[in-house]
């Protein structure tokens, strides 16, 4: 719960974003999400050259899944840290992050994969029908896309916004071509855990606002 002072700072920040961006191409549900990403990163590029890309069913599917108490599977603890914990508590959403699990670490070594890849496979049952939020590990996003293409999982929403130089832009480009699974992503190297958690927080705000 925000203090009065904290809320006033947030409100002023959001107004500053509105004033600096001016007109934009996003609709009434998309813009609050983009604005919260900008708020979490202080990076106005997300409204421009690193524009956020929404699958046509992304927001509606994400809202319905969260309202239904779906699992939220994330790639790193940084995404967990950025979430407003009251939201999943109120709606019954389990937050799952397996990347630091010793068994995951050992399996990744044996298979010559990243921990992020293996952690996604380990969360198969929670990903199917759930929400995946990836802000740090492109290999996690690639693995989820592979699982979708294999017909193993069908998430309600993939939030794929990993930051990085190796495979990040390529993984997001691949995600943007998915048609059967809703997604939110962006083009280029920018992204991050704070952006991924900001998207989830913003979708919860849309739910609470009655959209």
Q: Where are the domains of the chain?
A: 4-208
**Average of pLDDT values for 129-135?**
98
**DSSP state string for 64-127:** HHHHTT--EEESSHHHHHHS-THHHHHHTPPEE--TT-HHHHHHHHHHT--HHHHHHHHTHHHH
Among the listed residues 39, 121, 172, 190, the single catalytic one is: 39
39 classed as catalytic:
yes
pLDDT of residue 31 exceeding 70:
yes
- CATH code of the domain made up of 4-208: 3.40.50.10230
53: enclosing H helix or E strand = strand 52-54
Residue 128, class by beta-carbon neighbours within 10 Å (0-12 exposed, 13-18 middle, 19+ buried)? middle
**Average of pLDDT values for 137-159?**
97
pLDDT above 70 covers a percentage of the chain that reads: 98
pLDDT tens sequence across 65-98: 999 999 999 999 999 999 999 999 999 999 999 9
Structural contact between residues 65 and 131, judged by C-beta atoms closer than 8 angstroms: yes
CA angle 40, 203, 185 (to 5 degrees): 65
Tell me which of 44-58, 75-89, 101-115 is least confident. Answer: 44-58
SS3 content of the chain, % helix, strand, coil (to 5): 55, 10, 35
Residue 177, class by beta-carbon neighbours within 10 Å (0-12 exposed, 13-18 middle, 19+ buried)? exposed
**Average of pLDDT values for 11-18?**
88
- Report residue 142 CA to chain centroid gap: 14
Structural contact between residues 140 and 119, judged by C-beta atoms closer than 8 angstroms: yes
pLDDT of residue 1 exceeding 70:
no
Q: Quickly state the pLDDT bin for 24 (edges 50, 70, 90).
A: confident
pLDDT at 50: 63
pLDDT at 7: 83
pLDDT at 29: 96
pTM score, whole prediction: 0.94
Q: Which residues on neighbouring strands pair with residue 133, listed in sequence order? A: 74, 159
Tokens 């239904």 belong to residue:
68
């Amino acid at each position: 719960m925000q203090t009065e002072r904290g809320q006033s700072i947030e409100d002023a920040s959001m107004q500053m974003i509105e004033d600096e961006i001016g007109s934009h191409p996003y609709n009434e549900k998309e813009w609050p999400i983009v604005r919260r990403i900008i708020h979490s990163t202080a990076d106005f590029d997300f409204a421009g050259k690193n524009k956020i890309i929404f699958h046509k069913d992304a927001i509606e599917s994400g809202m319905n899944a969260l309202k239904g108490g779906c699992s939220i599977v994330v790639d790193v603890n940084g995404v967990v840290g950025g979430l407003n914990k009251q939201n999943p508590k109120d709606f019954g959403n389990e937050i799952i992050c397996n990347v630091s699990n010793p068994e995951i670490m050992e399996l990744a070594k044996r298979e010559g994969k990243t921990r992020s890849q293996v952690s996604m496979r380990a969360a198969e049952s929670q990903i199917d029908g759930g929400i995946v939020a990836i802000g740090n590990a492109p290999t996690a996003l690639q693995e989820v896309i592979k699982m979708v293409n294999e017909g193993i999982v069908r998430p309600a929403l993939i939030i794929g916004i990993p930051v990085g130089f190796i495979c990040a832009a390529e993984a997001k480009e691949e995600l943007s071509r998915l048609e059967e699974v809703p997604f939110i992503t962006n083009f280029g190297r920018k992204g991050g855990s704070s952006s991924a958690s900001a998207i989830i927080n913003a979708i919860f705000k849309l739910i609470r606002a009655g959209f």
